Amino acid sequence: MSGRGALIVVEGIDRSGKTTQCAKLVSALLSQGHKVEVMKFPDRTTETGKMIDAYLQRDQTLDDHVVHLLFSANRWEQCSNMLENLHKGVSLIVDRYAYSGAAYTSAKQGFTLDWCKNPDKGLPDPDLVLFLNLSSKEAESRGGYGEEIYEKVEFQKKVHNNFLQLKSKQWKVIDASQSEENVHREMLNNVNSVIENVKGQQIGKLWL
Ligand code: TMP
């Protein structure tokens, strides 16, 4: 049966396994015959993405408000492309989205969750958010953090708490400390039912 694609977001703190799981999910869905594409935010290839990348790698200092707005702009750049794909029946698996935007910036001094959500209001609303739940301690023990600016255990702990405050009815919390295969199976089951259920539904607007 034809119909629109589903917007599936995968979220979690650094090292929770998002990128590996997104790749496994896409290949499983493709082999089931679904039309599907993977996307990742930040998209470091665009002009805003290059500025974000320089900031994350500590090559450039930027005001925290500016960084937050760049991350949001980096998503808005893809908005029409995302809607076009969804309307064509392509499901999107998105590695990080506006929830990361709000959870990371609001872990900084002087930022409320509410302020942080504002610039992303109105983006396409995900049909499903798979939150890979892992404590910051466990995440750190997974081969260590890299050099990027947010990869510190105390900061990730705050981010984790912020994510949990953003939970809504579309969220499924997945225990990311399970084996890679079990996490995959749980994600795939959730995605399969959502892809079937959204076909006749309109695409909503995030946080509006
Ligand atoms: P990545 O490691 O998934 O490429 O993400 C880069 C870092 O940027 C990661 O620490 C999470 C952070 N981030 C934000 O602070 N705001 C955002 O809006 C997004 C998408 C990521």
Q: Look up the ipTM and state it.
A: 0.99
Cα of 33 vs centre of ligand 1, distance in Å, is 31
Ligand 1 pocket (Cβ < 6 Å) reads 14, 41-42, 56, 71, 96, 100-101, 104, 148, 150
Residue pair 206/125 in contact by the 8 Å Cβ criterion = yes
pLDDT given for residue 205 in this prediction: 98
pLDDT at 145: 79
Which amino acid residue places its CA nearest to atom 6 of ligand 1?
42
Average pLDDT value over all residues in the chain:
96
Mean pLDDT of 162-190: 98
Q: How confident is the model at residue 12 (pLDDT cuts 50, 70, 90)?
A: very high
Please report the atom of ligand 1 found closest to the CA of residue 19.
Answer: 3
Instruction: Measure the CA–CA gap between 131 and 110, rounded to whole angstroms.
Output: 25
Report the range of poorest mean pLDDT among 3-17, 101-115, 133-147: 133-147
C-alpha torsion 138→160→97→41, nearest 10 = -50
Alpha carbon nearest to ligand 1 atom 14, residue: 101
- Look at residue 27 and tell me whether its pLDDT is greater than 90: yes
Give alpha helix (H) positions in the chain: 18-31, 47-56, 64-76, 79-87, 98-105, 113-117, 136-141, 153-165, 180-197
Reference 69, options 120, 23, 29; nearest CA is 120
Look at residue 171 in the predicted model and tell me its pLDDT.
Answer: 98
Distance from the CA of 30 to the center of ligand 1, in angstroms?
A: 26
Confidence band for 1, pLDDT divided at 50, 70 and 90: very low
Please state whether the predicted TM-score (pTM) of the whole model is above 0.95. yes
Name the residue of 13, 21, 48, 56 to mutate for ligand 1: max ligand atoms within 8 A of Cβ: 56
Q: 202 C-alpha to center of ligand 1: Å?
A: 28
pLDDT digits (tens, 9 = 90+) for 79-129: 999 999 999 999 999 999 999 999 999 999 999 999 999 999 999 999 999
Ligand 1, atom 18: nearest CA belongs to which residue? 101
Give 118's DSSP letter.
G
- Mean predicted confidence (pLDDT) in 169-191: 98
Give, as one character, the DSSP assignment of residue 77. T
89 CA distance to ligand 1 middle (Å): 28
Whether the CB-CB separation of 175 and 133 falls below 8 Å is answered with yes
Average pLDDT over residues 72-85: 98
Confidence of residue 16 (pLDDT cuts 50, 70, 90): very high
Token pair of 16 as six digits: 């929770």
